[in-house]
Amino acid sequence: MSESAIKVPVRDEQTGGGRSVLRRLLQVDEIGVIGALVLLIVLLSLTAGDKFLTAQNFINVSRQASYVGIMAVGMVFVIAMGDIDLSVGSIWMLSSVMMAIALRDNYHILIAVAVCMIVATLCGLVNGALSVALGIPTIIVTLGTLSLYRGLGLVVTNASPVSGYNLETWFFTWIGGRDPVFGVWISVWAMLIVGVCGWILFNHTPFGRRVQAIGSNRQAALFSGIRIARTRILVMTLMGFIVGIAAVVALAFNRNGSPTVGVGTELGVIAATIIGGTALSGGSGSVLGAILGALIIALIQNGLALLAVPPAWSTAVTGIVIIVAVTLDYLIKRRA
């Protein structure tokens, strides 16, 4: 074999290697949402100017995104399975005020945290069990429990914020501390930890594969031996558990159990999940994309505030974002 014959594949491999790197980059599931995030940052930099381009502003945006980002990790599993949970905001409120009541009644902080997590997890379990037992779509069940859980929260609080507990404990001074740790809020650290755990569970475990199989083709999943009812209940329970985590870190920062917390949060969580690339039709999803989607929503809200746009428009913009995201998801799936 001649020397030139040996060199040709080496040159092709180098050229192909460069192209393959670019090809792999363009095939990254989150490349679209990353591009949208960068474009949004550039746009706000040009319109909001120096008020936007500050370290403190980015720190605040990350904190604002963290609660929605945490819950969006759980919503990835729900939507990828072909369901939607509309009750996450109400679960957040109910578990948060129950924790605040435990603190007010002088229970140990760890017991109060346990109360919050148990209440949130049980709410998720009830959602899943009702949907499976009654054969009703989860979106219908959670439309009802949205009002049920919030109503229970209003009853136990008499529609008033819960306070009157010691704010000098390590929970409020560290978990809810107003000073970032290594430049990052504790709630953001919590979002990152939940995100890593959710990414592993969704992409690298049999459970995650079962969730995606159910969302892709429920009948085929049934024939393959997947226990659909149990998996659906587990996913909804997991959603409740993750909402509990968000409720704990939010209460630590806000320092009171407000019966108004979480109103409309479900829209932001669903929007972040869909923007991040989770297919509304089910079968696929992206945990990283959902977190990036939460950042996009927080940046939009932050930009509107810096531009002195009335707060009422924030809700309208969230609705527009959901419509655009759902439309794009539909068009992409139709072309595929």
List pLDDT tens digits, range 88-142.
Answer: 999 999 999 999 999 999 999 999 999 999 999 999 999 999 999 999 999 999 9
Report the alpha-carbon distance of residue 313 to residue 66 in Å, rounded.
21
**Total tally of structural domains belonging to the chain:** 1
Report the alpha-carbon distance of residue 298 to residue 315 in Å, rounded.
12
Q: Is 217 left (phi over 0), alpha (psi -120 to 50) or beta?
A: beta
pLDDT recorded at residue 239? 98
Q: What is the pLDDT averaged over residues 254-283?
A: 89
Question: Is 90 exceeded by the pLDDT of residue 72?
Answer: yes
CATH no. for residue 212? Answer: 1.10.3470
pLDDT category, 11, cuts 50, 70, 90? very low
pLDDT recorded at residue 180? 64
Rg (CA), the chain: 22
Q: Percent of the chain, pLDDT > 70?
A: 88
81, 105, 301, 108: which is closest to 209 by C-alpha?
A: 81
pLDDT category, 298, cuts 50, 70, 90? very high
Report the alpha-carbon distance of residue 62 to residue 186 in Å, rounded.
11
Residue whose entry in the numeric block shows the structure tokens 């226990």: 227
| Residue 3 within any structural domain of the chain | no
Q: Is the pTM of this model over 0.85?
A: yes
Question: Is 90 exceeded by the pLDDT of residue 232?
Answer: yes
| Residue 49 within any structural domain of the chain | no
| Residue 39 within any structural domain of the chain | no
Alpha helices, DSSP H, located in the chain: 3-26, 31-48, 55-80, 88-104, 109-134, 138-157, 170, 186-203, 206-216, 218-223, 228-254, 265-275, 287-306, 312-335
| Residue 16 within any structural domain of the chain | no
| Residue 11 within any structural domain of the chain | no
| Residue 52 within any structural domain of the chain | no
| Residue 240 within any structural domain of the chain | yes
- 184: DSSP letter: B
Question: Is 90 exceeded by the pLDDT of residue 335?
Answer: no
Query: Of 157-166, 273-282, 296-305, 322-331, where does mean pLDDT reach its minimum?
Result: 322-331
| Residue 18 within any structural domain of the chain | no
**In terms of pLDDT, which residue wins out, 171 or 61?**
61
Question: Is 60 exceeded by the pLDDT of residue 6?
Answer: no
Report the alpha-carbon distance of residue 178 to residue 273 in Å, rounded.
28
pLDDT recorded at residue 296? 92
pLDDT recorded at residue 166? 78
pLDDT category, 15, cuts 50, 70, 90? very low
Bridge-partner residues for 257, per DSSP?
A: 162
pLDDT recorded at residue 17? 52
pLDDT recorded at residue 93? 96
Its domain, for residue 214, covers 71-335
pLDDT recorded at residue 13? 42
Separation in Å, CA 158 to CA 31, 151, 162, 194, 274? 47, 10, 9, 33, 36
181: helix, strand or coil: strand
Report the alpha-carbon distance of residue 306 to residue 56 in Å, rounded.
13
- 256: DSSP letter: S
